[in-house]
Amino acid sequence: MEVKEGTVVSLAPNAVYYNGKEMPDWVRNDHWIVKSRNNDRVVLGKNVSETHTINSPVNIAFMTPVSESNTPQTKTETTHPLCQKLQSSVISNNGEMQISERGVELIAKYEGCRLAAYKCPAGVWTIGYGHTAGVKEHDTLPSKDAAKRLLREDLEKYAAHVNKCIQTGKLTFSPTQNQFDALTSFCYNCGVGSLNKLVAGRSAAEVADKILAYNKGGGKVLQGLVKRREEERQLFLS
């Protein structure tokens, strides 16, 4: 059977991305619909249950065609729990998850937007939705759209930390998109060290409960953090 656009393929146990980057087990263990092919370079689009879209190239040598249509195939094993959920994940072309617009909006809601540079409670010059890199006194932004673009750029770094927890196994479960968004929001607010402590060795249910404990600033419970943690938990569990 020829591998072409629309073909459903399975992946070899040793499959990697076309650029040689390691592929997560949950990608290797699923069936994928071919989006396009150029010689040995095959771009995989959605999985057959349509819970994920990766748009990532893989060498055809790692593929075995399963069917010529995108009819979902029955698999006997899977390491990914989303086979039971019709929830789309946002995944970059290198196979890593990215924060969704819903996650961005949650963060923007709690960070607030200021178009002129100001000093945060920690004494750091800040602008937009919590952006600090290179900010100086008297800096300004032209619009909230510009501030939102800065926020999205900043969030790439924090999403990368969550992806690292996934790749290294520090995160003991494969996150849904909502769980990934909640963890990225938490990381942006509390920092990488707190993220590592939050997820290390905990199940998804344990993380959902523990996240509520991070509600203090300067040793005092802050209502803004209480509300943010509660909304992150709700998103995590949805």
> From the candidates 77, 111, 153, 156, which is the catalytic residue?
111
Q: Are 104 and 148 in contact (CB under 8 A)?
A: yes
Query: What DSSP letter does each residue of the chain carry, written as one string?
Result: ----TT-EEEE-TT-B-TTS-B--HHHHTS-EEEEEEETTEEEEEEETTSSEEEEEEEEGGGEEEEESS-PPPP-S--S-GGGG----EEB-TTS-B---HHHHHHHHHHH--EEEEEE-TTS-EEEETTB-TT--TT-B-S-HHHHHHHHHHHHHHHHHHHHHHHHHT-S-S---HHHHHHHHHHHHHH-HHHHHHHHTT--HHHHHHHGGG--EETTEE-HHHHHHHHHHHHHHH-
Cβ atoms < 10 Å from Cβ of 15: 16
Active-site residue flag, 111: yes
> Which positions are catalytic?
111
